Amino acid sequence: MIYTLKYPSHPIERVNQVVFEFLRNSIPVCAYSRNLFPEWFRDVMSNSKAQAGNKSFEDKFIDLHTEFQKLTIANRQSLFDEFDAGLDIKSLCEEKTKAVILSENYAADLHAALKAVLKDHFYGTALGTNKTIQDKLGTTLRNHYTNFKTLNNSGRVCPFCGLHEYALIDGEAKDDYDHWLYKSKYPLYAVNFSNLVPMCDKCNQGGVKGTADVLHNDDGTRRESFYPYESNQGVQLSVNNFSDVGSLSDEEKEKYPYGYYKLDVVEQDPTEAEKVETWKSVFKIETRFNSYLSSHNKQVKDDFHEDYLPDHPEFTLSNNITTLRVIVSAFRNQLGNPRRKTGVLINKAYLEFICAVGNEYMLYTFCNINLAQAI
C-alpha cells in the first residue's frame, strides 16, 4: 500500500452486535423471536415491512434462523466460535495460520441466507436508508464517511493504488466502501466496520479488487495481506528498462502507446514481502503502474517545461548532462507527497530512471535538447 489509513471509531459499529447476538442466541434449539436480537434492534424488526416482490428484513432473518437451526448444535457453536475469532479482521490478514470462517462450508442454504440478509439487505439497503436504525444508533453511514474523511484528512489519494483521488467534496457522491474480506464469500463480516474501507471507485470495481480474496491465493492456500488500518512501511518503486514503442507487439502498442517501462515495485520492509505481493496481485499494481507511466510521462515532461522551468529562472537547460541531472533531480524532489498527489511514486521513479547513467538520450529528449548538438 502507498500509505496507512486511520481507523475511524464510530457509533455505527454497533450494528455488528446484531449479528453477534443473533447467532449466539440462536445456538440452542429455539424458535425465532425478536428476543434473539439486541434490545435496540427489536424496533427495527417490528418496523420491517415486505416490499412488493421482496421479503421483509425480518423475514430474511427468519430464513437465516431456520437455516442455522438445521445445523447440529455442535456446528452452530463451531460456526459462532469461528465467526467470533475472526471479528478482528486484522489478525486474519496478518496471521495466515488463523482459520477463516467460511459459511459456505457449513451449508449452501445457510450461506445463501446469510448473503440475503447481511450482504444484500443489511449492508446493501438498511445501513444507508433505514430510518429506525439511524434513529436507534443516532448516526448514519454518511456520518461515518465524513468521520473517515476528517480523520484521514492528510490523505487525498487512494492508498491502494496512488493513482486516483478519494471523492472528498461535500455534496458529491461518496466513495463506496470495499469489504476487505469480500462480502459474497464472507457475508458474516458484511456489517463489521473493521472489514469496511473506503476505496477509490477504480480500485473497488470488478477486475481490480472487486471480489479478489485478500486471504487466499488462487490455489486456495492462505496468504498474508496488509490490513488497511494497520501501519505499513510502504513500497519502493523503480523503473528498470524501457522498450520503445517500435519494438512492441501490436497489442502492446495499444496498451502502451508511448513505449513500455519495466517497473519494479518492492517492499521497504523485508517482513512485509508477502503482504506486498498480495497487494500487487489483488490491485493489479504492476499492470496499472506500467500503463500509468506509459500514458502519463508526456504530462510529466509538460509539467517540467510549462510550469516548473518558468517558475525557476535560476535553471537553464544546456548540453551539459550533469547540469541536466541537477535540474531534473530538483524537479523530481518537489513532486510532492504521494498521500496528496496522484502518481507521485511512479513519476519520481521515472525521473530517477532518465537521470541514470546509460539513459542520457532519454534525459536529453526529456529536456528537449537536440541530440545532434549534444553528443
Which residues here bind Zn ion, judged by CB under 5 A? Answer: 158, 160-161, 200, 203
- Would you say 86 or 198 has its CB closer to Zn ion? 198
**CA 122 from centre of chain:** 22
Q: How far is the CB of 156 from Zn ion (least distance, A)?
A: 12
Residue appearing with cell numbers 504521494? 338
- Would you say 279 or 364 has its CB closer to Zn ion? 279
- Would you say 115 or 280 has its CB closer to Zn ion? 280
Q: How far is the CB of 234 from Zn ion (least distance, A)?
A: 15
Cell of 309: 522551468
CA atoms within 13 Å, Cβ hemisphere of 171: 0
Q: How far is the CB of 283 from Zn ion (least distance, A)?
A: 7
Q: How far is the CB of 73 from Zn ion (least distance, A)?
A: 44
Q: How far is the CB of 6 from Zn ion (least distance, A)?
A: 17
Contact 181, 175 (CB under 8 A): no
- Would you say 92 or 282 has its CB closer to Zn ion? 282
Give the Cα separation of 302 and 122 in Å (integer): 49
Please report, to the nearest 10 degrees, the dihedral formed by the alpha carbons of residues 50, 51, 54, 55 taken in order.
-10
- Would you say 200 or 237 has its CB closer to Zn ion? 200
Give the Cα separation of 372 and 360 in Å (integer): 13
On the 0-12 / 13-18 / 19+ scale of CB atoms within 10 A, 68 is: buried
DSSP label at residue 157: B
